[in-house]
């Protein structure tokens, strides 16, 4: 029984993650890792190859895009199969304004974001009337329609080939400086969106999003208007996705082309990335997005061929990812981030199992553990204390 207590406490503390973030004494190990990860991302461009920094810039925008998908689909359960629509609306609006009218990218990015928000209303309003599968159908179809429009009006939108590259947001004399500056711009957006979406999803509105996913009727019965929250989620998500798309086209890596912004595979790639990372967590899709983009890029550069198929690994990337996602959905439906947290807790608990409480006389157990286990066990103890005190607070 006593072993069950920490688990309950963990769930409690998960629900109160926002309080955890503010209260330094209760910062969990995973938050420490998260902070280390962010720090590493922040320091990375100082030490690595410029080309890699350029790719990481793209990965950061893709991760922002994945987070925007998660805000609506992972939380409200209104699965969007066409999130590329928002990415593309943002990117194309910004690129067109810059290319045809010469507006400054800093302005056009905002316009792109606004247009994407409008697109979010256009897609989100049907959410008032339509239930899950029908809504997913609409979202699946919306970017296909947009692509058709782009093809029909090729003289404006460039059709299947896309538009020329618009100006970069940050221009410097030296290309190297420009790359680093663009990276930090992307990194800033990444951190900002991460913080924003974490705040929103951990707020009361976020709880309503999750409640809509679980049981929309119950939300309505509780006197809340699910449609209002759905539209809010859609518009927020669309604006963030559009912002990512708009800024992405103004970097050396991104171009306003359907293949990068709009085609069906883009919509599905973002789902794969989010599912791989762990949908419904915001952090998961952020990690999943970075991982997906960078690992695909790495696979694309591998020249070795697979012996049986006789095909180069470079061509297998999306196949591998889709198969991995299928397997992961069964084995670890929560995704990598949740899985890692779960594994960490399991390790911690294992460490804790041999710890004091199992020794009948109250003394120290046999010293069979290595330093790592000891460290983990002490962490575990600290966790238990925090958890137990919280538990008692709740009980009494």
Partner 1 sequence: MVDVLTTTINAVTISALYALVAIGFTLIFGVGGVLNLAHGAILTVGAFTAYYATSALGLGIWVGAAAALAVGGLFSAAMYLGMIRWVQDEPILVMILTLVTSIAIEQFFVVTVGTQAKAVPSLLPGQLTFAGLTVQTNQALTFVLSWLLIGGLVVAVNYTRTGKAILATSMSAKGAALVGIESDRMYLYTWLLAGALAGIAGVFLASYRTASYTMGRGPLILSFSIVVLGGIGSIRGSVLGAYLIGFLEVFTVSYVDSSLSGLASLVVLVVVLLVRPEGLFGRELAEA
Minimum distance of partner 1 from residue 92's CB (angstroms): 18
Question: Is residue 151 part of the contact set for partner 1 (CB under 8 A)?
Answer: yes
Q: Which of 52, 138, 196, 347 binds partner 1 (CB under 8 A)?
A: 138
Minimum distance of partner 1 from residue 265's CB (angstroms): 7
Binding mask 251-270 for partner 1 (x = CB under 8 A): -------------xx--x--
Q: Which stretch binds partner 1 (CB under 8 A): 139-147, 245-253, 281-289, 384-392?
A: 139-147
Per the CB < 8 A criterion, the answer to whether 135 and 126 are in contact is yes
- Nearer Cβ to partner 1 (295/379): 295
Q: Which of 77, 90, 158, 289 binds partner 1 (CB under 8 A)?
A: 77
Distance between CA atoms of 249 and 243, rounded to whole angstroms? 10
Q: Which of 32, 39, 141, 372 binds partner 1 (CB under 8 A)?
A: 141
CA atoms within 13 A on the CB side of 248: 33
Distance between CA atoms of 107 and 86, rounded to whole angstroms? 18
Minimum distance of partner 1 from residue 152's CB (angstroms): 5
Binding mask 323-342 for partner 1 (x = CB under 8 A): x-xx--xx--x---------
Q: What is the 3-state secondary structure (H, E, C) of the chain?
A: CCCHHHHHHHHHHHHCHHHHHHCHHHCCHHHHHHHHHHHHHHHHHHHCCHHHHHHHHHHHHHHHHHHHHHHHHHHHCCCCCCCHHHHHHHHHHHHHHHHHHCCCHHHHHHHHHHHHHHHHHHHHCHHHHCCHHHHHHHHHHHHHHHHHHHHHCHHHHCCCCCCCCCCCCCCCCCHHHHHHHHHHHHHHHHHHHHHHHHHHHCCHHHHHHHHHHHCHHHHHHCCCCHHHHHHHHHHHHHHHHHHHHHHHHCCCCCCCCHHHHCCHHHHHHHHHHHHHHCCCCCHHHHHHHHHHHHHHHHHHHCCCECCCCCCEHHHHHHHHHHHHHHHHHHHCCCHHHHHHHHHHHHHHHHHHHCCHHHCCCCCCCCCCCCHHHHHHHHHHHHHHHHHHHHHHHHHC
CA atoms within 13 A on the CB side of 55: 16
Question: Is residue 302 part of the contact set for partner 1 (CB under 8 A)?
Answer: no
Minimum distance of partner 1 from residue 324's CB (angstroms): 10
Question: Is residue 309 part of the contact set for partner 1 (CB under 8 A)?
Answer: yes
Scan residues 78-137 and list those touching partner 1 (CB under 8 A).
Answer: 79, 81, 126, 129-130, 132-134, 136-137
Minimum distance of partner 1 from residue 99's CB (angstroms): 22
Per the CB < 8 A criterion, the answer to whether 44 and 171 are in contact is no
Minimum distance of partner 1 from residue 319's CB (angstroms): 4
Q: Which of 5, 43, 152, 343 binds partner 1 (CB under 8 A)?
A: 152
Q: Which of 107, 145, 302, 343 binds partner 1 (CB under 8 A)?
A: 145
- Nearer Cβ to partner 1 (322/357): 322
Number of residues interacting with partner 1: please give it, by CB under 8 A.
40
Per the CB < 8 A criterion, the answer to whether 101 and 226 are in contact is no
Q: Which of 104, 315, 385, 392 binds partner 1 (CB under 8 A)?
A: 315
Q: Which of 17, 44, 114, 144 binds partner 1 (CB under 8 A)?
A: 144
Minimum distance of partner 1 from residue 136's CB (angstroms): 6
- Nearer Cβ to partner 1 (43/326): 326
Distance between CA atoms of 385 and 109, rounded to whole angstroms? 48
Q: Which stretch binds partner 1 (CB under 8 A): 40-48, 64-72, 138-146, 167-175?
A: 138-146
- Nearer Cβ to partner 1 (110/320): 320
Binding site for partner 1 (CB under 8 A): 77, 79, 81, 126, 129-130, 132-134, 136-138, 140-142, 144-145, 148-149, 151-152, 264-265, 268, 271-272, 275, 309, 311, 315-316, 318-319, 322-323, 325-326, 329-330, 333
């Amino acid at each position: 029984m006593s072993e069950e207590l920490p688990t309950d406490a963990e769930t409690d503390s998960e629900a109160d993650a926002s309080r955890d973030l503010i209260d330094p004494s209760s910062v969990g190990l995973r938050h420490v890792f998260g902070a280390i990860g962010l720090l590493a991302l922040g320091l990375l461009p100082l030490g690595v190859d410029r080309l890699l920094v350029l790719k990481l810039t793209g990965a950061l925008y893709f991760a922002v895009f994945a987070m925007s998908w998660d805000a609506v689909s992972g939380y409200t359960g209104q699965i969007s199969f066409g999130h590329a629509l928002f990415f593309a609306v943002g990117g194309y609006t910004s690129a067109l304004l810059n290319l045809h009218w010469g507006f400054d990218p800093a302005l056009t990015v905002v316009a792109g974001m606004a247009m994407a928000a409008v697109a979010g209303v256009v897609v989100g309003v049907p959410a008032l009337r339509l239930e899950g599968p029908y809504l997913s159908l609409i979202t699946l179809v919306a970017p296909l329609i947009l692509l058709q429009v782009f093809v029909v009006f090729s003289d404006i939108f460039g059709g299947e080939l896309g538009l020329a590259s618009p100006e970069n947001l940050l221009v410097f004399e030296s290309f190297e400086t420009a790359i680093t500056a663009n990276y930090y711009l992307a990194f800033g957006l990444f951190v900002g969106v991460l913080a924003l979406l974490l705040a929103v999803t951990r707020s009361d509105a976020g709880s309503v999003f999750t409640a809509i996913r679980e049981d929309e009727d119950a939300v309505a019965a509780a006197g809340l208007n699910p449609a209002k929250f759905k539209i809010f989620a859609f518009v927020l998500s669309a604006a963030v996705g559009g912002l990512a798309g708009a800024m992405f086209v103004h970097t050396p890596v991104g171009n306003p082309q359907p293949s990068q912004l709009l085609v069906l595979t883009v919509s599905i790639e973002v789902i794969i990335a989010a599912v791989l990372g762990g949908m419904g967590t915001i952090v998961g899709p952020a990690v999943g997005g970075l991982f997906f983009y960078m690992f695909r890029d790495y696979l694309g550069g591998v020249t070795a061929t697979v012996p049986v198929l006789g095909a180069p690994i470079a061509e297998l990337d999306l196949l591998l990812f889709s198969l991995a996602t299928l397997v992961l959905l069964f084995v670890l439906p929560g995704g990598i981030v949740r899985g890692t947290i779960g594994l960490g807790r399991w390790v911690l608990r294992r460490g804790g199992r041999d710890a004091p409480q199992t020794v009948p006389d109250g003394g120290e157990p046999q010293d069979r553990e290595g330093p790592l286990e000891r460290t983990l066990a002490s962490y575990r103890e600290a966790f238990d204390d925090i958890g137990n005190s919280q538990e008692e607070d709740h009980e009494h």
